[in-house]
Structure 1
């Protein structure tokens, strides 16, 4: 991506990559409501978005949060995956619809009303909600807004996913959209997520659409491992959301001659969106890329990498452009020691920004190296309060070889800043 200098530049970049695959359209509307849980007349705004196929498809797949308090839309979508046909998904921001006694019933009521407007079966529709946990959806207001959303759907001739990426945001500071042209067709995907992010398939939503012909079984075989290799290897704040979901669908319009190329493109789109989510993390000033090599298994490498990016001491040191490398070794040793991993310390190596900082059982730092690494961290950072677009795509690169095996994994994380605390302290107010 070329260097972006303004929100307008970034939106133009997104529009250049945001064309919808054949057979899809989007519609939007806004509404206002007063949350009953606040006990006041405070008025809030909500976006209601539709991502629809022109005709129902049999080719769709999904992966969902493993949080034991899943949102009502997650429960509903899991059941919908068993159905034969899929027509589209209705998405709202502001309220997550989690742990509400009438949550599933509320989502179903909304989908039934939408189905009447769209002329399809409610069983062909899915729901997705993101926002505050513990509030009930303003169902009546949402149903009253549906005709406007459907009118937008039918009149939306631009067929670009940019507005969808914008409308599903909550605390996100910029929209996230990636795409690939492959095998004569197209894959386009949008995602949202900035806080409560350590997916395990936060709040993380991703919608992937393609016009390439691929079987239902092939898509359902491809999606889970790709999600595991991309979205499940990121962490902003180590909290797994109640609402995480990745939904993929094909309009089955164009032949796909090379399934390997399709899988590669699907992986690239998901990988780029995963990094976008971390870069867009609440209060993020640095994106941290930890590569763990020499592990006994991929799972072990991933766990060690996550231990590092989830360490508050590591995160705050990087936020302050402080190459406090002792914290790196401490977090690795803490995780391994408490999980029965017999780490050969004398074989382990750690590098920061390509410079060796630990080897042969000890640190190899000098005052000059401290100065260079502090400058490196500063160069990789951005102002956490910055909103609207990603200033650059630089990452703080930490490479670890633990000298135990041949497995490798890369984990993406973020630092921890005052801005993260402020955003989450003020989230509902």
Structure 2
């Protein structure tokens, strides 16, 4: 049975170390801004990236370094996205990897790079250069190293996001763990979120890539905070093989178990990101069932969780189901409005508020009680076929505008 363990971190898999420091990219000395994840051996690695046409320089460099499908370290900075800086941005992203590789005594191409923060501001590479010796010196396999790394990638996040899973393959214990950041500029097809996954499993590069893409499509690509797809988001995974399992080279039971674990972990991390949306007070989980296809179900569900009116209603604990029908209607998916049922659910219970596209008599007080909880489920039955999909979002609050009204300051 796959079970998420919040006590596991990116240093839990065998052979991984991490660190995080304040190097000076952020004004406050109390805020860490430079992180490092390191594997004792070169790891099979791959990534998935934003679909925004405007991409940060670190993505370009990381893609180049992953051509050989191998990596040994990931250096990440917060406080500056290193995006829209032209040749200067590319030069500094490359310099980050060179400086890190030299300090670690590994190949430059085996270092991946990621950045998050303000767009269009030149990166202070001197601060990073001066910080790298301490960053490398602080590498630790202990939980403290992982926590420091997790703190160093945060921007407007209010909580650290780390978790992991252990399971057995071929009689060998395998550990899979992730740390992520993301709070604003979050929208399906990746967002301003970064996720770094470590595992000691031994798996072929082709199957690792397939598993990552498949799991991302039903996790990170199904979350939305504000409808803005960022320029810097990526998910990177390193598999160093130190669990010593028989290398997975085909889609057998071992592969399926790994895929299940990876998907479970990525969904868990995705929900953490959605719930920590900028200014958010509630996680919204929208499940559309009995649609004509999975694509239709996903599109319909996304339309609901990205609706500003739906998000505002959830913030106000208002059972305004008409906004949900409206969001379904402009999704460009063909369906029969007169068949749709809508219910709300939470730890306080479940209530049907719309049946066959029309109002029903429901207890407004009970609906309010359900919607006052911090995790809200919107359940939609299209009554067409048998396909189902779930997406995640958050409510829209006054604080979202406050945070983004003066983000650069």
TM superposition score normalised by structure 1: 0.86
Tell me whether 1:109 sits opposite 2:103 in the alignment: no
Are residues 245 and 273 of structure 1, via their aligned partners in 2, closer, same or farther at CA, if it must alter by over 3 Å? same
1:212 aligns to what SS in structure 2? Answer: coil
Q: CA RMSD in A?
A: 2.0
Q: Which of 380, 388, 397 lines up with 1:408 in the alignment?
A: 388
Residue in 1 aligned with 2:399? 419
For the residues of structure 1 that align with 2:352 and 2:26, how far apart are their CA atoms? 55
**Deviations 1:326-375 (CA, angstroms, capped at 9, x unpaired):** 2111221232xxx2x33212222111123221113311134xx1111011
Query: 1:122 deviation in Å?
Result: 0.9
Q: Which one of 346, 351, 356 corresponds to residue 355 of structure 1? A: 351
Q: 1:129 aligns with which of 115, 131, 150?
A: 115
Q: Does 1:158 align with 2:142?
A: yes
Q: How many residues align?
A: 388
SS at match of 1:32: coil
The residue number in structure 2 matching 1:230 is 219
Q: Show structure 1 runs of 4+ deviating over 3 A.
A: 13-19, 42-46
- Give the conservation status (yes or no) of the 8 Å contact 2:26–2:79: no
- Is the CA contact (8 Å cut-off) linking 1:33 and 1:44 kept in structure 2? no
Q: 1:424 to 1:115 in 2, by over 3 A?
A: same
Q: Which residue of 2 aligns with 1:99?
A: 84
Q: 1:327 to 1:121 in 2, by over 3 A?
A: same
C-alpha distance 361-266 of structure 1, shift in aligned 2 (>3 A): closer
1:212 Cα deviation after fit: 1.5
| Partner SS state of residue 53, structure 2 | coil
Correspondence for 1:26: 18
Q: Which is worse superposed, 172-181 or 15-24?
A: 15-24
- How does 1:315-334 map onto structure 2 within 5 Å? 315-334=311-330
- TM-superposed deviation, 1:163: 2.3
What are the superposed Cα offsets for residues 251-287 of structure 1, whole Å, 9 maximum, x if unpaired?
1112346222222111111010000001111111111
C-alpha distance in structure 2 between counterparts of 1:359 and 1:322, whole Å: 18
SS in 1 for 2:211: helix
- Is 2:199–2:240's contact at 8 Å kept on the other side of the alignment? yes
After superposition, what is the alpha-carbon deviation per residue over 1:103-147, rounded to whole angstroms, capped at 9, x for unaligned? Answer: 111110121122111111211111100001111110112111111
Residues 188 and 209, structure 1, Cα contact 8 Å, conserved in 2: yes
How far apart, in 2, do the equivalents of 1:233 and 1:113 lie? Answer: 36
d(CA) in 1 for partners of 2:203, 2:70: 15
The 5-angstrom pairing of residues 7-406 of structure 1 reads 14-15=6-7, 19-33=11-25, 47-57=33-43, 59-101=44-86, 102-153=88-139, 156-158=140-142, 161-183=146-168, 184-256=173-245, 258-335=254-331, 339=332, 341-353=333-345, 354-366=350-362, 369-378=363-372, 380-381=373-374, 395-406=375-386
**Which structure 2 segments of 5+ residues have no match?**
247-253
Structure 1 CA distance for aligned equivalents of residues 54 and 181 of structure 2:
20
| CA distance 1:254–1:34, shift in 2 (3 Å) | closer
Structure 1 residues 420 and 22, CA, compared in 2 at 3 Å: closer, same or farther?
A: same
Query: Bigger CA drift: 74-83 or 130-139?
Result: 74-83
Deviation at 1:233, TM superposition (A): 0.6
User: Secondary structure of 2:403's partner?
Assistant: helix
Asked if the contact 2:10–2:198 (Cα under 8 Å) also holds between the matched residues in 1, the reply is no
Alpha-carbon spacing, 1:157–1:234, altered in 2? closer, same or farther (3 Å):
closer
1:175-210 CA-to-partner distances (Å, cap 9, x unmatched) read 001100111120011100000001414310000001
Structure-2-length-normalised TM-score: 0.90
Name the CA distance, whole Å, in 2 between partners of 1:16 and 1:68.
Answer: 35
1:348–1:53 distance in 2 versus 1, CA, 3 Å:
same
Which residue of 2 is the match for residue 9 of structure 1?
none
Rounded Cα–Cα distance in structure 2 between residues aligned with 1:131 and 1:47: 10
DSSP 3-state at the match of 2:148: helix
- Taking the aligned partners of 1:265 and 1:43, their CA distance within structure 2 comes to 37
Distance 1:350 1:256 in 2: 46
Q: Kindly tell me: are residues 130 and 320 of structure 1, through their superposed partners in 2, closer, same or farther at Cα, counting changes over 3 Å?
A: same
Q: Structure 1 unaligned runs (5+)?
A: 1-12, 36-41, 382-394
Distance 1:345 1:228 in 2: 27
